[in-house]
């Protein structure tokens, strides 16, 4: 994985290209920050992603090594350059097609936003059901009034 890590003000705090060697790690093993474990899943070789990682998925209140301040939101531009032990099929090696997919940044509220959308949809459905019930009741009342006349 090649990457450039930046603070919110744009200051670069780390870059694998400066060292001339990609970072090697096992995803999901706790070797990297949680934001990477979550934000880099299902990447394909050659894919690039921009991750915006909130403090609780990065270094939190403690920061890191005097370079990353406490409670820092971090931005990473990452490119998966290979997967250890994987050799792509020959027909894929010279694929010069332009990337068609773009990744969304990881946000602190991603799950909350999804839950809110689901709740809003449920509320809308409930409101529609209530309106239908009210309309049915009004129609019944009108029928009763007509019958009484």
Q: Which residues are catalytic?
A: 3, 13-14, 33, 59, 76
Instruction: Output phi, psi for 22, to 5 deg.
Output: -70, 155
For residues 20 and 2, what is the distance between their CA atoms, to the nearest angstrom? 9
For residues 81 and 7, what is the distance between their CA atoms, to the nearest angstrom? 23
Cβ-defined contacts of 30-33 (< 8 Å, 24+) = 33/57, 33/58, 33/59
């Amino acid at each position: 994985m090649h990457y450039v890590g930046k603070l919110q003000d744009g200051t670069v705090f780390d870059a694998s290209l400066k060292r001339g060697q990609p970072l090697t790690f096992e995803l999901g093993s706790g070797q990297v920050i949680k934001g990477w474990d979550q934000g880099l899943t299902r990447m394909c070789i050659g894919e690039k992603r921009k991750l915006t990682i909130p403090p609780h998925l990065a270094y939190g209140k403690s920061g890191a090594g005097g370079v990353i301040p406490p409670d820092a939101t971090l931005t990473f531009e990452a490119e998966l350059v290979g997967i250890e032990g994987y050799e792509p099929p020959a027909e894929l090696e010279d694929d010069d097609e332009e990337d068609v997919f773009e990744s969304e940044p990881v946000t602190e509220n991603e799950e909350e936003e999804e839950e809110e959308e689901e709740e809003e949809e449920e509320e809308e459905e409930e409101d529609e059901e209530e309106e239908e019930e009210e309309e049915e009741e009004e129609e019944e009342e009108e029928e009763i009034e007509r019958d009484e006349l």
